[in-house]
Structure 1
């Protein structure tokens, strides 16, 4: 039996999703021109959480009592904490590099699944993890001089991918009875009020917003929250419904390419070491996620 090819609509939406998520790192960079990292992260989470509310109102009925604590955890490790980590990391890292480092997420998901959730892993998957780690090391030590200079801010991105990996495993192993849009939408809404409260009470946001030069960075952050998080989530779920998770996960390979291209267009340097690191991570992800072919069994 031949596998049905994904429809043209799915390919177009996948390309749009790659553009949205790939450009999010450049939007963070632009947002930091007018706002501090913690302000940027708080605005991003608050805008994404509240804009999704109309889409998830009916879904609150499907959330049971035992779901709430789990959804709060998902909101924290899947959105809230990574938003702050990315914002602080990009004060010292180019947007293209952060986009590439983010590709470590599937490998972090595998490692956490094995270590914390007793998920079985094949030798092939561990080979992919090792190759991905080598690529990550190349990226966090790349420099204009060609020498290996460790940038500790890259560790913030790795920490964010670990958060994403923990989040995906929590969803897979502890919230299998809720839909993806319900999980993400409700969990984002749960952390949006604390983010807004932090923004208004713990940062000089009201003073910063009055500066004329703040409007362009604010627009970039709102675009990041509304389009880069909320709309991207809806597109992602649409593609999953049109095809499957395997096809949708291929966006992992497109995001860093978009991030690097946009970074170079914006004037960021690109080193050969970064290209090698990118290739190593993508190869590692491909090897770790490649499925072993099953022999045909005519009796099945």
Structure 2
């Protein structure tokens, strides 16, 4: 059954983009993420106390866990949402995020001593090509319009988000593999919650329209990506090589495109379908033993 965990992770993680699309019209991004993290921490803390789960055995380990959480939950999520808020198209943002596996493979060897073989490099490169094909129908590559509607800073912030999730994956593999999964996840969310509280109160109005769509999106993001996908990601990082785990992110844009097709009627053209096939081949090569 464990062989299906990466595919389940891809599906659960991809629904986060759909949930964000439902909820963001009714709240500013940092406020949305602050409420999400607060409720997630409250629910997770109750579960921890009821089940009497163990906590990290040292303050040092707890500190490492908190840092990894801030990198992925604030650096990555906050960076992506900030870039989109600044006007960067979501398709272009997702394409930039597609560089994360290559970046992870690049730094995993010197930091973790992981050996990325040529066939895996080929898979990683195919993943980038497939991601471009999947998203090509949503991106205007005309030089005169590429940066229309958003500043260059938005591109740098999106790349910064990719760097953060890459560093988080490698950092966690190096320093946090002994953390108890459930309590470690709580520490990560709690650290992110504190940061988002400061960002939301300092930079936003913190006004929320409590519509049915917002409430649905909020609780979907709490129970599916926050609990489900993140737990699977932490498990995969603990069990496998960081570069191989990162390659699974190549499947996310394709799966998200399929979900958007069924939920929002977004079309999938020939290049997108070819791209999905290329991504699948790339992932198969990248995760080969």
Query: TM-score band, normalised by the shorter chain?
Result: 0.7 to 0.9
Instruction: Give distance in 1, aligned partners of 2:174 and 2:236.
Output: 23
Instruction: Kindly indicate whether the alpha-carbon contact (under 8 Å) linking 1:25 and 1:98 is maintained by their aligned counterparts in 2.
Output: no
Unmatched segments (≥5 aa) in structure 1: 1-5, 292-300
In structure 2, relative to structure 1, the CA distance for the partners of 1:32 and 1:225 (3 Å cut) is same
Listed one character per residue, the Cα deviations across residues 102-147 of structure 1 (whole Å, up to 9, x for unaligned) are 6654444322212544433212222223223333444565447786
1:217 aligns with 2:217: no
Residue in 2 that maps onto 1:65? 59
Q: What secondary structure sits across from 1:32 in the alignment? A: helix
In structure 2, relative to structure 1, the CA distance for the partners of 1:129 and 1:19 (3 Å cut) is closer
Unmatched segments (≥5 aa) in structure 2: none
- Counterparts in 2 of 1:1-300, with a 5 A limit? 6=1, 18-57=10-49, 58-59=52-53, 61-90=55-84, 92-94=88-90, 105-138=100-133, 142-143=137-138, 150=146, 159-205=160-206, 208-209=207-208, 211=209, 214-233=211-230, 255-265=252-262, 266-291=264-289
Residue in 2 that maps onto 1:294? none
Q: What secondary structure sits across from 1:25 in the alignment? A: helix
Instruction: Kindly indicate whether the alpha-carbon contact (under 8 Å) linking 2:131 and 2:250 is maintained by their aligned counterparts in 1.
Output: no
Residue in 2 that maps onto 1:298? none
Instruction: Give distance in 2, aligned partners of 1:133 and 1:20.
Output: 21
Instruction: Give distance in 2, aligned partners of 1:140 and 1:85.
Output: 20
Instruction: Kindly indicate whether the alpha-carbon contact (under 8 Å) linking 1:20 and 1:228 is maintained by their aligned counterparts in 2.
Output: yes
Instruction: Give distance in 2, aligned partners of 1:14 and 1:288.
Output: 13
Q: What secondary structure sits across from 2:25 in the alignment? A: coil
Instruction: Give distance in 2, aligned partners of 1:123 and 1:281.
Output: 17
TM-score w.r.t. structure 2 length? 0.73
The CA deviation at 1:215 is 4.9
TM-score w.r.t. structure 1 length? 0.70
The CA deviation at 1:231 is 4.0
RMSD of the alignment, in Å?
A: 4.0
Q: What secondary structure sits across from 1:40 in the alignment? A: helix
Instruction: Give distance in 1, aligned partners of 2:83 and 2:62.
Output: 30
Instruction: Select between 136-145 and 162-171 the one with higher mean Cα deviation.
Output: 136-145
Instruction: Kindly indicate whether the alpha-carbon contact (under 8 Å) linking 1:100 and 1:259 is maintained by their aligned counterparts in 2.
Output: no
